[in-house]
Amino acid sequence: MHANDVDLDSCAREPIHVPGSVQPHGALLVLDPADLRILQVSANVADIAGTDAAGIAAVLSSELAAWKASGSLPARLVAPGYPLDIAVHLHDGRVIVELERAASEAMDDPFARLTAFAQQMAGNIDLGDALSAAARLIVQLSNFDRALVYRFDADWNGHVVAEAGNGTLPSYLDLRFPAGDIPAQARDLYRLNPLRLIPDADYTLVPLLALDEEQGRAPVDMTFTQIRSVSPVHLEYMRNMGTLSSMSISILIDGRLWGLLACHSRQPHIVPVRVRDACNFIAQSLAMQIGAASRAQTAAIGVELGRLHTKLLASMADAERWDDGLANAPDTLLAITRASGAAILSQNGFSRVGDAPDEEAVRRLTQWLSENGIASDVYATDCLAAAGFYDRTVTETACGILACRISESDDNWLVWFRPEVIRTVTWGGDPHKVVRESGRIHPRKSFEAWRESVRDRSAPWHEAEIGAAHDLRASIVEIVLKKAEQLARLAADLQKSNKELEAFSYSISHDLRAPFRHIVGFSQLLTEREKNLDERSRHYLKMISDSALAAGELVDDLLTFSHLGRATLATGKVDMNKLVEEVRLGLAEDIKDRAIEWRVGDLPMTRGDGALLRQVWHNMIENAVKYTRPRAPARIDISGETVDGGLLYRVQDNGVGFDMAYKAKLFGVFQRLQRSEDFEGTGIGLALVKRIVERHGGSVDATGTVDGGACFTFFLPVLPEE
C-alpha cells in the first residue's frame, strides 16, 4: 500500500463520464434512437456547425437513418456543404453525434509515414527502439511539443519509458508518477475509449442544454465521446505541469491498460481528427509490437523455466528424497526463481543453498507464514517488513521471499530468498506530498524530480517465477505422494514377507525338529535293544544319534536367533552379578573336572531384558569355558564398569584366542573360527550375543591373539526408566 493511494481518493470518486458539458472545440447532439428526435445539445452547436441543432440534424437525417439501418456501429458522417468532422455512436440508449470543425489548412497525408512505421514495427525491432520510434512519429504528425510513452507498473504507478519532443517542454524520461495521478475511473475510461484530446486546459466548458422536456434532463454518459469535458482536477494538473494542451492514446495489451502515449504542448494545440486517427493507428501498432514482444519473452521464459523444472525433476528422481534432490541441484533451484538463496524444511530436516537465513530463522519465518494463514500453497513478497514480518536475522539476508508450502500436515516448506535492493526511484515530484485546499485534495503542484530510496525491498518476483514455484510445488507434491505410496507398498510387502518368515520358522520349529528327534530316538532304541552289537556298530549308531542331536540343536539355536528379531524386550532392572552367578551354576556340572580360576568383579546393575541378558552371559561364559579347555589352569575374568554413556562388561580368558584378521567373522551367523572336531558348536552363539546387545542399543567387540586368549566386551547404553 502506498500512502499516496489515499490522497487522491476524492478525485477517484468523481463521476468523470457524465460531466454534463463538452470542451469548446466540439459540439454535441444527443438524439433519441427511435425517432432521431433531438434530446440535448451543447450550447455551441451554432458556433461549431454554422447552423443550429435542428438545421444540422436535418442535413444529417438521411445519413443517420442509413447508419441506424446498418447496425448503429460507431461511424463518421458527412454533412454536405458543412466543413465538419462528424462522429456518431450509440451508447446507453442515446445516439450521440460529435461535431468538430474540419482542418482548414491542407496537411500532409500521413499514410506514407504510417506505412514506413508499420514496416519498422514488423521488422526485428527492439522494444525500446519501437517505443522511441512511436513517440518520435507522433510528435512529427501531431506537432505536439513532447510525446511520452508512459507505462503502468503492477500498482498503477506510471513510468516514462520513452520520450520524443522539440525541446520546448522538460524531459520526463525515466520519471515515475504515483498511481493516484491517473485514478481508477480515468484508467477505466482510457481502457474503453482509447483517445482523448484537450486542446486548451484553460477552456471554458460548454454546457449541455435540454431540448426535450421529458428525456432531456437525464445525464448523458459520454464515455465514448472525444470532446467530453474533463475533470477540473485534471486541468489543474495540466497547468501544474506547464502544459496547456494534451492528447493521450491508450496502449492496451490483451485488454489490459499497459500504458499511454501522452502528448503535451506548452500552448493550446488542436489536432484534427485525421491526425488523431493516424496517432491512434501508431498506438495500436505499438500495442501489437509490445504484445508480441511480451508474448515472445513469456514464451522464452517459459521454455527456460521448463528446462530448469525438468532438471530439478531429474535431480529429485535421482535422489531418495525430494529435498535432497533439490539441494543437490543448487544452481538450478536458485535459477528457476532467480533467487539468491533457498531453504528446504522437511521431516528429514533443514537444508539451504545460496544465501539463506539459518534454520532457526527460517523456522520462525514459516511459523509466521502459517500463523498468519498467508501461505496456502505459494506466497510471494518483495518486502517482508511491509507484509508484517520484522525479524532482522531473516531480513538482513533476505527482504523478499517466495514460499511454497509443500504439505500442511508435515510442515514441509520450500522458500526462496532475495536480498535487499536499494533502488533509487525518481518521481515526478514528491509522491507523498498532498496539497490541501479548503477540504479538497489537489494534485502535486511541483513536478521537480524527487528521488526516493526504496529500502527493505528485494527485486520483485516476476509472475513467471511465481508460476514456476507453483509448478515446482505441484511436482514435489506429486513426488511426495508417489514416494508415500511406494513406502506404503514396501511396508505392506515387508509385513507380508515378515509374516511368511514367521510361518516359515514356525514350520521349521515343528517339522524339522521332529525327524531329528526320530533319528535320535530310534538309534537309541536300537542301541538298547541290540546288546550284542560290536564296538564299531555302536560307534556308528552313536555318530547317527550325535549328528541328529547336533542338527536338532542347530534348529533350536536358529529359532532362538530368528525369534529375537521380533520378540519385544521385557525391560526391567537387571542385576548382572546375579545373572553371571546363575550362568556359572548352570555350567557347574559340565566343568566339574576342569581347573578354572574365576575372577568375577563387581558388575554394575543395568536395565534391559533379564532373560536375554542371561543368554548373553551364558554364551560368552560358555565360550570362555569351551576355548580354555586346553588350559590348566584356565583363567576367566569377568568385569564391568561404568563408561561414558553406559556400561561396559568384559569376559577375558587365556584360551586359544583367535586371529584378529578374522575378527569381522566372529559375530556372524554360522561363522566359526575353530574346527568343529576341536570345539563343538553351531556358530550362532556370538551372533546371538550381538543381536541381543544391539536390540538393547549397545555394541559388542572382541580382541584376541592366536593362543593368547580372547577378550569379549559388550556395551549397553543407559536406557531411560519408563
Partner 1 sequence: MSDLRPILLVEDNPRDLELTLTALEKCQIANDIVVARDGAEALDFLNQDGAFATREPGDPAVVLLDLKLPKVDGLEVLAKVKGDRNLRHIPIVMLTSSREEQDLVNSYELGVNAFVVKPVEFSQFFKAIQDLGVFWALLNEPPPKARQRGGS
In this complex, which beta carbon is closest to partner 1, that of residue 149 or of residue 520? Answer: 520
Can you tell me which residue has the cell 498511481?
Answer: 179
Stretch of residues binding partner 1 (CB under 8 A), selected from 93-101, 312-320, 542-550, 571-579 = 542-550
Q: Smallest distance, Å, CB 523 to partner 1?
A: 8
Q: How far is the CB of 722 from partner 1 (least distance, A)?
A: 22
Determine the interface stretch with partner 1 among 100-108, 251-259, 547-555, 713-721 (rule: CB under 8 A): 547-555
If the CB atoms of residues 118 and 533 are measured against partner 1, the closer one turns out to be 533
Q: Does the footprint of partner 1 cover residue 547 (CB under 8 A)? A: no
Would you say 79 or 558 has its CB closer to partner 1? 558
In the complex with partner 1, which residue's Cβ is closer, 506 or 598? 506
CB of 697 to partner 1, least distance (A): 23
Q: Which stretch binds partner 1 (CB under 8 A): 23-31, 104-112, 362-370, 550-558?
A: 550-558
User: For partner 1, which is the closer residue by CB, 524 or 703?
Assistant: 524
In this structure, the number of other CB atoms found within 10 A of the CB of residue 142 comes to 23
Toward partner 1, which CB reaches closer, 510 or 675?
Answer: 510
Alpha carbons 275 and 105: distance in angstroms, whole number: 13
How far from 425 is each of 40, 135, 384, 429, CA to CA, in Å?
A: 48, 23, 20, 11
Number of residues that bind partner 1 (CB under 8 A): 24
Question: Binding partner 1 by CB under 8 A: which of 553, 581, 637, 701?
Answer: 553
Please say which residue, 529 or 675, places its beta carbon nearer to partner 1.
529
Backbone angles phi, psi at 682, to 5 degrees: -100, -10
- 365-401 per-residue burial string, b: 16 or more CB within 10 A, e: under 16: bbebbbeeeebeebbbbbbbbebebeeeebbebbbbb
DSSP per residue over 624-651, as a string?
HHHHTTT-SSEEEEEEEEEETTEEEEEE
Rounded Cα distance, 83 and 105, in Å:
12
For the bound state, the minimum distance from the C-beta of residue 556 to partner 1, rounded and expressed in Å, comes to 7
174 or 556: CB nearest partner 1 = 556
Distance of closest approach, residue 555 Cβ to partner 1, in angstroms: 9
Tell me whether residue 121 or residue 688 sits nearer to partner 1 (CB atom).
688
Within residues 492-531, the interface with partner 1 by CB under 8 A covers 506, 509-511, 513-518, 520-522, 524-525
Element (H, E) at 415: strand 412-418
Q: What one-character DSSP code corresponds to residue 244?
A: S
Residue 296 vs 567, nearer CB to partner 1: 567
Nearer to partner 1, 140 or 524 (CB): 524
Residue 362 is placed in which grid cell? 527460517
Q: d(Cα 514, Cα 533) in Å, to the nearest integer?
A: 27
| 711-714 own/partner pairs: CB under 8 Å, 24+ apart | 711/650, 711/651, 711/652, 711/653, 712/620, 712/623, 712/624, 712/650, 712/651, 712/652, 712/686, 713/648, 713/649, 713/650, 713/651, 714/616, 714/620, 714/648, 714/649, 714/689
Closest contact distance (angstroms) between CB of 609 and partner 1 is: 13
Q: By CB under 8 A, what part of segment 568-607 binds partner 1?
A: none
Return the CA Rg of the chain: 47
Least separation, in Å, of the C-beta of 610 and partner 1?
A: 16
Least gap, CB of 526 to partner 1 (angstroms): 11
Q: Which of 343, 361, 384, 548 binds partner 1 (CB under 8 A)?
A: 548
Place of cell 463521476: 15
Q: How far is the CB of 692 from partner 1 (least distance, A)?
A: 16
Beta-carbon-side half-sphere exposure of residue 550 (alpha carbons within 13 Å):
13
3-state secondary structure of 262: strand
How near is the Cβ of 570 to partner 1 at its closest, in Å? 12
Best CA proximity match to 10, nearest among 184, 203, 148: 184
Residues 117 and 134: beta-carbon distance below 8 Å = yes
Query: Nearest approach, Cβ of 510 to partner 1 (angstroms)?
Result: 5
567 binds partner 1, rule: CB under 8 A: yes
Q: How far apart are alpha carbons 151 and 257 in whole angstroms? A: 9
Beta carbon nearer to partner 1, 197 or 555: 555
Least gap, CB of 501 to partner 1 (angstroms): 13
Closest to 230 measured CA to CA, from 201, 268, 194, 261: 201
| Helices vs. strands in the chain: H and E counts, helices first | 21, 29
H or E segment and range at residue 528: helix 513-529
In the shown chain, the binding pattern of residues 20 to 59 toward partner 1, with x for contact by CB under 8 A and - for none, equals ----------------------------------------
| φ, ψ (nearest 5 deg) of residue 133 | -60, -40
Would you give the DSSP letter of residue 511? I
Q: Taking the chain, what is the end-to-end CA distance rounded to the nearest angstrom?
A: 57
**Closer of 513 and 695 to partner 1 (Cβ):** 513
Question: By C-beta, is 546 or 582 nearer to partner 1?
Answer: 546
Binding mask 451-490 for partner 1 (x = CB under 8 A): ----------------------------------------
Minimum separation from the CB atom of position 562 to partner 1 (A) = 11
> 170 by DSSP, 3-state: which?
coil
Which of residues 455, 499, 563, 599 is near partner 1 by CB under 8 A? 563
* Residue 552 in the binding site for partner 1 (CB under 8 A): yes
**Nearer Cβ to partner 1 (307/518):** 518
Burial of 566 (0-12, 13-18, 19+ CB in 10 A): exposed
Distance of closest approach, residue 616 Cβ to partner 1, in angstroms? 19
* DSSP letters for 312-349: HHHHHHHSSSHHHHHHT-HHHHHHTTT-SEEEEEETTE
Q: Is-contact 247 271, C-beta < 8 A?
A: yes
Q: Which stretch binds partner 1 (CB under 8 A): 219-227, 286-294, 310-318, 549-557?
A: 549-557
CA distance 479 to 365: 25
Residue 362 beta carbon to partner 1: minimum distance, rounded to whole angstroms: 49
Which CB sits closer to partner 1, 93 or 515?
515
Residues 402, 461: contact at Cβ < 8 Å?
yes
Q: How far is the CB of 558 from partner 1 (least distance, A)?
A: 11
Nearest approach, Cβ of 716 to partner 1 (angstroms)? Answer: 24
Positive or negative torsion for Cα 29, 35, 39, 43: positive
Which residues sit at the interface with partner 1, rule CB under 8 A? Answer: 506, 509-511, 513-518, 520-522, 524-525, 545, 548-549, 552-553, 556, 559, 563, 567
